[in-house]
Amino acid sequence: MSISQSNKEALKNPWVLGIILFVMTFLTANAIFIYLAFESPPSLVDQDFYESGKNYKQIQEQIDAQKALGWTGLFLIPAQTRVNQIQTYDVLIQGKNAAAIDLDSVVMKAYRPSDATADFSAEMLKTKPGVYTAEMSFNLPGTWDLVVEAKQGDKEFVVTKRVSIKP
């Protein structure tokens, strides 16, 4: 048995194959978790989580109804966001075939996952067809979850975005 860099027997060793398989499984699991973290709605702390859990089926039906609408939402946020600086936050909401939608009410809610007492909301105003604007100022730095709830009659559409506010 020769020990050298040109020895091609290493890939036949079950220990080497096991280590390679373990590393690949670890990397694949992490990639899946990262994907799910970005594709899932924000995980905010809920004071009545038991009641919310009982309403799971109703929440899933609301998500399915939202997907059936075919609406899309896009946040237009400032490039630099700072504490105690009033800035304009826009959201573009379109229906099927990129048609502008005239909504009854649009509210932007700002949640701070680490401190529920800092949460606030603002009514958004229509500036152009399908474009809604709110001027907001964040009083604390850190990560915030923006949730826009748009309503048209009994139809409801929710768009979420995570932003980072600098000191």
Show the tokens assigned to 114.
């680490």
Chain center to CA of 50: 23
The CB density around residue 157, as the number of other CB atoms within 10 Å, is: 20
Angle in degrees, CA 63, 96, 104, rounded to 5: 70
Tell me the one-letter amino acid at 120. F
Compute the mean pLDDT over every residue in the chain, rounded to the nearest whole number. Answer: 86
How many angstroms separate the CA atoms of 74 and 23, rounded? 37
Answer whether residue 60 shows pLDDT above 80: yes
Contact 145, 59 (CB under 8 A): no
* pLDDT above 60: residue 12: yes
Residue 113 buriedness (CB in 10 A; 0-12 / 13-18 / 19+):
middle
Q: What six digits make up the tokens of 53?
A: 């859990």
pLDDT, one tens digit per residue, over 95-124 is: 888 888 889 999 999 998 877 788 899 999
What confidence tier does 52 reach under pLDDT thresholds 50, 70, 90? low
Q: Which pTM does this prediction carry?
A: 0.65
C-alpha to C-alpha distance for 65 and 137, rounded to whole angstroms? 32
